[in-house]
Structure 1
Amino acid sequence: MEFVDTSILCNLLEVPGKSQDREKAIAELKRKRELREADLLLPVTAIIETGNHIAQLSDGYYRRLCAERLSGVLVTVIEGTAPWALNEVEWNAAHLRALVDGWSTGASLIEHACNRLGCGDLNILVERDRYLARTSGVTAAIWTLDELLASYA
């Protein structure tokens, strides 16, 4: 099982300024699908962060183009035809507590922020940890191009 990080989603959607490793991401997705090496889960956090990156684009043409691409990907998730499934996470007090505590990382949200690990990246780790807590006999990594996040993945 692998959680798809924002860095991967932005590359696959070719978000300007966030897709310098696009060919690498496409090749890796193709390889993962052909080898059926891992089931892929799309964290809610990656959707929100990617949408924010798109909304912040200064060029309206690319903002619309990328928003259409993201919308298209979300429709494939809804229809079950995407190369990944949505990680359905319950956003509640327990989730917020896990985020504040940093769950399995050994450091709090405050400590991570001071060390430049953003709340979105930390939340992807929490989504993964909560997924593992509700499943048994499963391992889960994070597919990312972000070096800091990868160090925890």
Structure 2
Amino acid sequence: MRLDIPLDLPGHSFIDQLQWLETWACLPKGALSNSADTLAAVANEGAVKMVPVLLDCMNCQAWSWPAYDAHIEADGFTYSDDPLTDMAEQIYQKYRANKMAIHRKSQMEPLKHLRPYWELCGRCASSTGDEDATLILDADDPFWTTHRVPWRCEQIDCRCYVNSLSEYERNNP
């Protein structure tokens, strides 16, 4: 049995998540949030169901998204040969990644007394964009609220994640 992550997460309502995605993807205000009910109906159904709804939200028309253009120019990963479908897929993947990261953070927060260190893994842990980079800091370090981390990552196709660590795991990798 598959357990879905709830649409509304602590401090991050579904509408807030859609509005953040609109800003991140340079979409017109309301492009996603005005279709919240339709998107909510397919949000846990995967890309096959959600990407066509995202395309409908954008009236199947391309828009200006400078970060996406830079990603493609740098020979970034694409999900589809059709640019519009790929843009919708990138939005879905960012929604999914952020939602999972927010949910993971909500699971790690109550365990800080047992696992007081957090390890950031992936591009977000490196100033050079190294995929294999790691950074270990106290769970209460201000870094987690002021820097690019999985629950607030703005990179396209970023696969960063955070693990919680005990004192033993931190000292004995």
Q: TM-score, normalised by structure 1?
A: 0.28
| Greater RCO, CA 8 A, separation 6+ | 1
- Largest Rg, 1 or 2: 2
